Amino acid sequence: MTKLNEIQSYLKEQKLDAAFITTPDNVFYVSGFRSEPHERLLGVMIFQDAEPFVICPLMEIPDVKAAGWTFDTVGHEDTEDAWDVVLNAVKARDLTINEIAIEKSHLTVERLERMEEIFEDVTLSRLDDQLNQMRVIKDEDELIHLRKAAELADYAIEVGCREIAEGKTELEILMAIEFEMKKKGVQKMSFDTMVLSGPKTASPHGVPGDRKIQKGDFILFDLGVVYNGYCSDITRTVAFGEPTDAQREIYETVRLAEETAVDMVRPGVTAMALDKAARDVITNAGYGEYFTHRLGHGLGISVHEYPSITGTNPFVLEEGMVFTIEPGIYKADVTGVRIEDDVVVTKDGVEVLTKFPKELQIIEA
């Protein structure tokens, strides 16, 4: 069953007249067409039985077709009101529209108000949870893309390690990684590549800069690529020169926390149990206050997607789910360390997509 058919079945089941999907990632998920429309309107309107349509900027119509969308596509020019185009396309289908499901976590208040205006007396209900339910389980085709994305991320870490040398800047290493990725055909990193060194490793959201690598630094890489529309997201922290005992202790604590959580992954386990298991390792080692973020997040078409792997989320794992596990300790006077893998819940356990070694890599200084 295609994603489109699945939504049509949902509409019938729920007695909804239409679904209007507007997140670029979900438009891609159901139509195969990926675009960043900025402030312009992009969406897919799906009905129980009538022909669905994509609404997009006029100049993108050929791209929608090229992406494999075989149904109707209606375009709007910058000089016209895109909502009139939507209304006309709906009217052409001669349906009664009383209730439309929308993405409440994405649709803006402004667009809500426009929809309420053009579709008189319409009820706008929530489609988000259904889309989350669908996207959270990856099918075999999606897993193929995710495996390849992870393989490329592994290679990127390898390149990064190779590039480390005394006096090189974080940005130089970052660019070498991205250049190599482009050569491998990667058109987009899944987020801004992070290469942090020395004390900067202690900032979970630090920005790579001109800092030069020095002996004794830890270097933290956090990066990912988009492959056929699917993301990877890996973190590795390596040492440049022999680490101190204090650095080593932090590293091994994070590694144990990470591996403890990874080993627990299987259907039936909750997100909160995973977070707790990793956090307990870190807390018991005395570093609890330095692990300041959640354990991980869902991964797929979006680099951060449903579900959130936190200490309070009772979400239960099922086969086919993909997410990150990424504990960290950020202690400015010693070092920051984060280790992150992408994992798939299998029938009876876990498949780890990212395979770069987790034993502390010591780069000769």
Binding site for a second copy (CB under 8 A): 35, 38-39, 57-60, 63, 78-79, 102, 104-110, 112-113, 124, 128, 171-172, 174-175, 178-179, 182-183, 185, 187-188, 192, 203-205, 207-210, 292-294, 304, 308, 310-312
The CA-atom distances, in angstroms, between 24 and each of 29, 39, 185, 306 are 9, 12, 22, 15
H or E segment and range at residue 362: strand 362-363
The CA-atom distances, in angstroms, between 249 and each of 79, 245, 312 are 62, 6, 28
Measured from the CB atom, is 257 or 360 closer to a second copy? 257
**In the block, residue with structure tokens 């290469």:** 195
Measured from the CB atom, is 209 or 357 closer to a second copy? 209
Q: How far is the CB of 57 from a second copy (least distance, A)?
A: 8
Structure tokens at 100: 């439309």
The answer, yes or no, to whether the previous bond of 314 is cis (omega within 30 of 0) is: no
Q: How far is the CB of 115 from a second copy (least distance, A)?
A: 10
Q: How far is the CB of 140 from a second copy (least distance, A)?
A: 27
Measured from the CB atom, is 234 or 239 closer to a second copy? 234
Buried b / exposed e across 131-167, counting CB within 10 Å, b at 16+? beebbbebeeebbebbbbbbbbbbbbbebbbebbeee
Measured from the CB atom, is 58 or 87 closer to a second copy? 58
Measured from the CB atom, is 175 or 365 closer to a second copy? 175
Q: Which residues contact 113 (CB under 8 A, 6 or more apart)?
A: none
As a whole number of angstroms, the distance between CA 126 and CA 272 comes to: 26
**In the block, residue with structure tokens 């809500």:** 112
Q: Quick one: CA torsion of 129, 230, 112, 82, rounded to 10 degrees? A: -150
Measured from the CB atom, is 88 or 105 closer to a second copy? 105
CA gyration radius, the chain = 23
Q: How far is the CB of 233 from a second copy (least distance, A)?
A: 12
Measured from the CB atom, is 110 or 364 closer to a second copy? 110
As a whole number of angstroms, the distance between CA 324 and CA 353 comes to: 10
Q: How far is the CB of 38 from a second copy (least distance, A)?
A: 5
Measured from the CB atom, is 306 or 356 closer to a second copy? 306
Measured from the CB atom, is 128 or 351 closer to a second copy? 128
Q: How far is the CB of 96 from a second copy (least distance, A)?
A: 23
Q: How far is the CB of 349 from a second copy (least distance, A)?
A: 26
DSSP annotation of 96: -
Q: How far is the CB of 303 from a second copy (least distance, A)?
A: 8
Is residue 305 classed as helix, strand or coil in its secondary structure? strand
As a whole number of angstroms, the distance between CA 117 and CA 87 comes to: 11
**In the block, residue with structure tokens 């929608």:** 64
As a whole number of angstroms, the distance between CA 70 and CA 65 comes to: 7
Q: How far is the CB of 66 from a second copy (least distance, A)?
A: 10
Neighbours of 314 (CB within 10 A): 8
